[in-house]
Amino acid sequence: MNIAFTEEQEMLRKAARDFLTTECPKKMVRELEEDEKKGYSPVIWKKMADLGWQGMVIPEKYNGQGMTFQDFTVLLEEMGRNILPGPFICTVIEGAYPIMDAGTEEQKKEFLPKIASGESIFTMAQLEPNGLFDASGVTLKATHKGDHYVLEGTKVFVEMANIANYIICVARTVKGVSADDGVTVFIVDAKSVGIHVEVMPTIGMDKLCEVQFKNVSVPIKNVLGKPDKGWHIVENVMRRGAIAKCAESVGGMQAAVDMTVAYSKERVQYDRPIGAFQALQHIMADMWTAMQTSRYILYQAAWMESEGMPCTREVAMAKAYVNEKYKWVTERGVLLHGAIGTSREHDIPLYFRRAKAADIRYGGTDFQKEIVANKIGLIS
């Protein structure tokens, strides 16, 4: 296993850090949070496309850069460190990757160049009000009628559906012998007649939406992969998405640790900086250790994914661990900042809220622990 950064990855990390620090200061992050309509900056989105970020993992033949998933993880860590509101993860993880994995050549030629150029924003509609991450939770009905399907049902926690051009919708086409059978994935024009989108209030203020599909017509050519056999597409999204969210979270942990250490050197109590007190030093040492441990297990999973190795267990282990440590680190950061740590004018609460929101994305801690238990032979 080699998780050391290459020279190119170090250059990418520095370039991303410089760009995000300049283009997306925390003042803009707060403004985008409170923007009820968009929640992202089209100007920054275009600049990112010019840098090739949206097309980083897309093959060169579709106007991408053909870089690895591990390269992509390096970039995501920097996005989490700075906090970049927007549809980046959902467009690449939930849009580009499924099309690269399961799309026809026509679908790849139509959609991948649009993603790489920043022209199209994608998201995936998977979760439903039942809150189940596995295939048994898919009940939105897709009925085959002639040259099209008709979608009927409701999806929740659909990231950035309010500004998406296309929605990758996971639907139930037939009731199979197992829950995995009968799941079909569709590429749906987000502006189709019968789609209603409403932004849901969340602690992360991250534009998760409820999407209602009422008699929505989707042409057969927009089926992604094989009809009734699409659950593996969702599993791939969940696995890569979990790594992506871990990368964001590790970047956020780094920012929280750096902020807290810097503050402890400046804040004076009893004629000494609070960082001089042993009890607080030990807390910050634990924060650093949690961050660094999270980084190691993250990049192990990212490396395995890049190499095409089976890594379901390692990804679930990483997501379960990082979920809890990101929350723990930011909670300690808020506590060590004292009263100012609860103020919206300070940066540490931004990371605290994102840590809470990151937990559920691509499977919460309990869901991931069940996967680990299964993979080590405890659940048949």
Q: Is 55 exposed, middle or buried (0-12, 13-18, 19+ CB in 10 A)?
A: buried
Q: Are residues 158 and 255 in the same domain?
A: no
Cα 10-14-15 angle, rounded to 5 deg: 115
Nearest to 199 by CA among 228, 241, 164: 164
Closest among 222, 234, 85, 217 to 162, alpha carbons compared: 85
Alpha-helical regions (H) of the chain = 7-23, 26-34, 42-51, 69-82, 88-91, 97-102, 105-116, 231-266, 278-306, 312-337, 348-358, 365-375
Residue 15 and residue 62 in one domain: yes
User: pLDDT per residue over 196-227, tens digit each?
Assistant: 999 998 888 889 999 999 999 999 999 999 99
Tell me: the pLDDT tens digits for 107-129? 999 999 999 999 999 999 999 99
Do 222 and 240 belong to one domain? Answer: no
Q: Indicate the residue among 55, 86, 121 that finishes a domain.
A: 121
Q: Which residues pair with 229 in a beta bridge?
A: 183
Residue 206: other Cβ atoms inside 10 A: 21
Total count of domains within the chain: 3
Is the domain of 240 the same as that of 334?
Answer: yes
Residues 218 and 239 in one domain: no
Whole-angstrom Cα distance, residue 248 to residue 260?
18
Pair 116, 127 in one domain:
no
| CA 371 to chain CA centroid, nearest Å | 19
- Tens digits of per-residue pLDDT, 287-321? 999 999 999 999 999 999 999 999 999 999 999 99
Residue 340 domain flag: yes
The one-letter amino acid at 81: R
Domain assignment of residue 291, yes or no = yes
Is the pTM of the predicted complex or chain greater than 0.85?
yes
Residues 251 and 325 in one domain: yes
Measure the CA–CA gap between 336 and 264, rounded to whole angstroms: 8
- Residue 218 sits in which domain range? 123-228
Q: Please determine, for residue 176, whether its predicted confidence score (pLDDT) is greater than 90.
A: no
Q: What pLDDT band is residue 35 in, cutting at 50, 70 and 90?
A: confident
What DSSP letter does each residue of 29-50 carry, written as one string? HHHHHH-SS--S-HHHHHHHHH
Mean pLDDT calculated for residue range 11-29: 95
One domain for residues 115 and 128: no
Which of 164, 196, 197, 170 has its CA nearest to residue 183?
Answer: 170
Output the domain CATH number for residue 70.
1.10.540.10
Mean pLDDT confidence for 153-179? 94
**The tokens 């998780």 sit on which residue?**
3
* CA nearest to 237, candidates 177, 176, 174, 158: 158
Q: Which of 197, 213, 228 is the last residue of a domain?
A: 228
Q: Is the pLDDT at 1 greater than 70, yes or no?
A: no
Residue ending a domain, choose from 193, 228, 263: 228
CA 261 to chain centre: 27
Asked whether residue 272 is domain-assigned, the answer is: yes
Across the strands, what pairs with 213? 153, 195
